[in-house]
Structure 1
Amino acid sequence: MGGTGEPAVSFVIPARNEAAYLPATLESIRQLEASLGYECIVVDGQSEDETPEIAREYGARVVAGNGTGQGEDRHLGAESAAGRWLAFIDADTRLSDAYLDRMLSFVTDHGLQGASSRCRVSGGWRTVPIERLFNHVLPRLSPPPFPGFNVFVDREAYFDVGGFTTGPNEDMAFSRALGKRYPTGVCPAVLVETSGRRIERDGLLRTLVYYTKLEYQRQFQPLLDRL
């Protein structure tokens, strides 16, 4: 997948029982209009469906995860990746054809070691506030936090800050740690579309409460553990 020789970019996708969504994600990677080589790594979190078989059918390399969480599985994928740049997406996230060249141009032109982009969130009117949060609120923070389904980071910088770990809102924890040490930013182009299935299943209010609780745990649980 993605040409010959050493890849410039490694896509890392944590996946557990994602047979329904993974084909569209991998097909979007296959259809990239990219000038540089890339590889795709699917970290299988002990799936009980056809997730690993589907990944192999699309030419992805499958790494065995232990099913303890997306953060740890992302890190396992990063450890086995060969690309200078790591592109973390989720198994229900589809890329625009221009994703790779646009992201590479964005980080190069702005001298960044980490980036995300604007996104679309599928699922109807209930996903609109979440989409606006990702596209217009979070990018204004300094450093901007990145959602785990859309993280593009220099490999050396990734490991220098410790990478992803398993814990509450691990994507926010990682991107904030990255942004405190390296320049990061958000590309203004809409380059990914991710599923709003949690919002469709649980509703907007319950989803917001869920992530608010995770963020509270991320910020205050270490303090409470030391008491």
Structure 2
Amino acid sequence: MTGPAVSFVVPAKDERATLPTTLASMRGQRTDRDYEIVVVDGDSADATPAVARRYDATVVSQGDEAADGGPNSDARERVGPDIGDARHRGARRAEGDWLAFVDADTALRPDYLDSMLAFAREEGLAAASSRCRVTGPVRAKAMEAVINRVFPRLDRPILPGFNCFVRRETYFEAGGFPNVPNEDTAFSRELGRERATGYHPDVLVETSGRRIAESGLTGTLYHYLRLDWHRLRSDY
């Protein structure tokens, strides 16, 4: 018996309000392929795990040390409950040939799975992302523009963690998401060293601009610059 073609991996901490929309968009995929949903709960204080189970998702506790074991374990040290660690724990539990990392405040269109799978295979890509729409205040459009217009044109495109579609075998060969700040930038740069990655020009996902709404554009920019400084200090 073969496993699913794709595993959606969703890190979630106290996401009871946003998670239903994300999981409903996954359950609404128009596809004949088998797929699964793995939600990694970051010790939520709300009903996040219960919401995940209502959508028939496998729930992994980020505090469960058993999640570190198994045949897909690597030797990289994982310290602390950061989002890179959550993504990696979900990948270890997932069984799909492809891993689709999606954040708990991101919604997919019904053709996402089939379109991303076909694009990656036709273009010979090890991993891919796609265009996004960032909801929220008008100033969120600045971040949207950077993701849609700048990230795909880099020599090693940055695949944002809220929308990263990667072949399972490639994921583990590259070491997975590291447990460092700006883990998606670090992972994307490692992937791009020797592997082809890219952006689907026609697939669109919708993700929340809530950080910008809370902190403003300047505060959000400072937040990510500070994370990237810590990433560089970690030699990634």
TM-score range (shorter-chain normalised) is: over 0.9
The residue correspondences of 1:50-61 to structure 2 (distance < 5 A) are: 50-61=47-58
Q: CA separation of 1:16/1:222 partners in 2, compared to 1, >3 Å: closer, same or farther?
A: closer
Per the alignment, residue 124 of structure 1 pairs with: 137
Per the alignment, residue 41 of structure 2 pairs with: 44
Give yes or no for the alignment of 1:23 onto 2:36: no
CA shift, 1:45, in A, is: 0.6
CA shift, 1:166, in A, is: 1.6
Q: Hey, which bits of structure 1, 4+ residues long, moved more than 2 A?
A: none
Per the alignment, residue 215 of structure 1 pairs with: 228
Amino acid in the other structure paired with 2:43: Q
Equivalent-residue separation in structure 2 for 1:68 and 1:61 (angstroms):
19
Equivalent-residue separation in structure 2 for 1:201 and 1:170 (angstroms):
22
Please say if residues 120 and 190 of structure 1, whose CA atoms lie closer than 8 Å, have aligned partners that are also in contact.
no
Per the alignment, residue 201 of structure 1 pairs with: 214
State the identity %.
Answer: 53
**Which of 93, 99, 104 does residue 112 from structure 2 map onto?**
99
Equivalent-residue separation in structure 2 for 1:29 and 1:18 (angstroms):
16
The residue correspondences of 1:141-152 to structure 2 (distance < 5 A) are: 141-152=154-165
Equivalent-residue separation in structure 2 for 1:78 and 1:181 (angstroms):
21
Per the alignment, residue 172 of structure 1 pairs with: 185
Equivalent-residue separation in structure 1 for 2:214 and 2:4 (angstroms):
38
Please say if residues 9 and 87 of structure 1, whose CA atoms lie closer than 8 Å, have aligned partners that are also in contact.
yes
Per the alignment, residue 6 of structure 2 pairs with: 9
Q: CA separation of 1:191/1:165 partners in 2, compared to 1, >3 Å: closer, same or farther?
A: same
Equivalent-residue separation in structure 2 for 1:168 and 1:41 (angstroms):
22
Paired residue total: 219
Structure 1 unmatched runs, 5+: none
Per the alignment, residue 85 of structure 1 pairs with: 98
TM-score, normalisation: structure 1: 0.93
Equivalent-residue separation in structure 2 for 1:18 and 1:190 (angstroms):
25
Amino acid in the other structure paired with 1:78: A
Q: Secondary structure at the match of 1:177?
A: helix
Please say if residues 116 and 203 of structure 2, whose CA atoms lie closer than 8 Å, have aligned partners that are also in contact.
no
Equivalent-residue separation in structure 2 for 1:37 and 1:207 (angstroms):
38
Q: Secondary structure at the match of 1:54?
A: helix
Per the alignment, residue 182 of structure 1 pairs with: 195
- Per-residue Cα deviation, 1:184-217 (whole angstroms, up to 9, x for no partner): 1111124210000000000011101111121122
